[in-house]
Amino acid sequence: MNGGSLVLLLFGPPGCGKGTQARLITSWLKVPSISTGEMLRAELRAGTELGLRAQAIMAAGGLVGDDIVNAMLAARIQCPDCANGFLLDGYPRTVEQAEFLDALLLRRGLPPAIVLHLDVPEDALVGRMTSRRQCPACSRIYNLLHQPPKTSGICDDDGTELITRKDDREDVFRERLRTYDEITRPVLAHYYDHTYHQIRGDRSPTYIFEAITSVLEKELNGESLVN
């Protein structure tokens, strides 16, 4: 990383494999992965006022207000573990959030984000969603078809019983996809002038991770600035 900071942005529809790739990338690059969705679920579990306000929106597959997530994100990236960079998973999701992030990075002397767009056709997403499971303790994602846990229903890392996220129910999931298409996909256009890379996300996690490492190695060596 040449001693500098690295700001990575993992972009893609719900269920495209962002969580799995975030885990692989962060253990490779040793930078934290920040998921605004996980932060909101943690607020909800802790029963905070913010969590309770976000609950109904999340349960319906909508987006929590920009002011709330922007403030949460700005505070989180000030933590010491972000000193060498960080990966954002699920943020920004609106053009307003993207503009806020640009200004925030500039203000804090951080480099512009490198955008990794995991592109997956909608049919494949709905199929994946029904077989998705998550560990409520460490947030690790499994897929019963392609990435099952070693022991059925139990997290490999900490032995916790896996759950199906409430917003992975088919009706809510379809609403999340609609929100993505209408509000979040247009955010991509905001990044076409920046360091944008599209990566085919309808392959195995190992294949996708190899594609990501090859893109990032070039970026980190300063060889490529556009896909």
Query: Which of 58, 82, 101, 208 touches ligand AMP by CB under 6 A?
Result: 58
Q: Provide the minimum distance between the beta carbon of 188 and ligand AMP in the complex, in angstroms, as a whole number.
A: 14
Residues in contact with 127: Cβ distance below 8 Å, sequence separation at least 6, in sequence order: none
Q: For the chain, how long is the longest CA-to-CA vector?
A: 47
34 φ, ψ to 5°? -115, 115
Q: Which two tokens stand for residue 118?
A: 């995991």
Binding mask 173-212 for ligand AMP (x = CB under 6 A): ---x------------------------------------
Active site residue 176: yes
The window from 34-42, 122-130, 152-160, 187-195 that contacts ligand AMP (CB under 6 A) reads 34-42
117 φ, ψ to 5°? -100, 110
Three-class secondary structure of residue 132 per DSSP: strand
Q: Provide the minimum distance between the beta carbon of 116 and ligand AMP in the complex, in angstroms, as a whole number.
A: 15
Query: How far apart (Å, rounded) are the C-alpha atoms in residues 118 and 212?
Result: 10
Q: Look at residues 3, 11, 1, 5 and name the one whose alpha carbon lies nearest to residue 212.
A: 11
Q: Number of residues interacting with ligand AMP: please give it, by CB under 6 A.
A: 18
Q: Provide the minimum distance between the beta carbon of 221 and ligand AMP in the complex, in angstroms, as a whole number.
A: 30
Q: Is the dihedral of CA 27, 29, 30, 36 positive or negative?
A: negative
Query: Which of 5, 20, 33, 36 touches ligand AMP by CB under 6 A?
Result: 36
Active site residue 178: no
Q: Provide the minimum distance between the beta carbon of 88 and ligand AMP in the complex, in angstroms, as a whole number.
A: 9
Q: Look at residues 150, 179, 132, 153 and name the one whose alpha carbon lies nearest to residue 18.
A: 132
Output 105 or 220, the one with its CB closest to ligand AMP.
105
Count Cα neighbours of 135 within 13 Å in the Cβ-side half-sphere.
Answer: 19
- Which residues 67-126 are close enough to bind ligand AMP by CB under 6 A? 69, 90-91, 93, 97
Query: Which of 6, 31, 64, 129 touches ligand AMP by CB under 6 A?
Result: 64
Query: How far apart (Å, rounded) are the C-alpha atoms in residues 88 and 73?
Result: 9
**Could you list the active site residues?**
18, 93, 132, 165, 176
Which residues of the shown chain bind ligand AMP in the complex (CB under 6 A)? 14, 35-37, 40, 57-58, 61-64, 69, 90-91, 93, 97, 167, 176
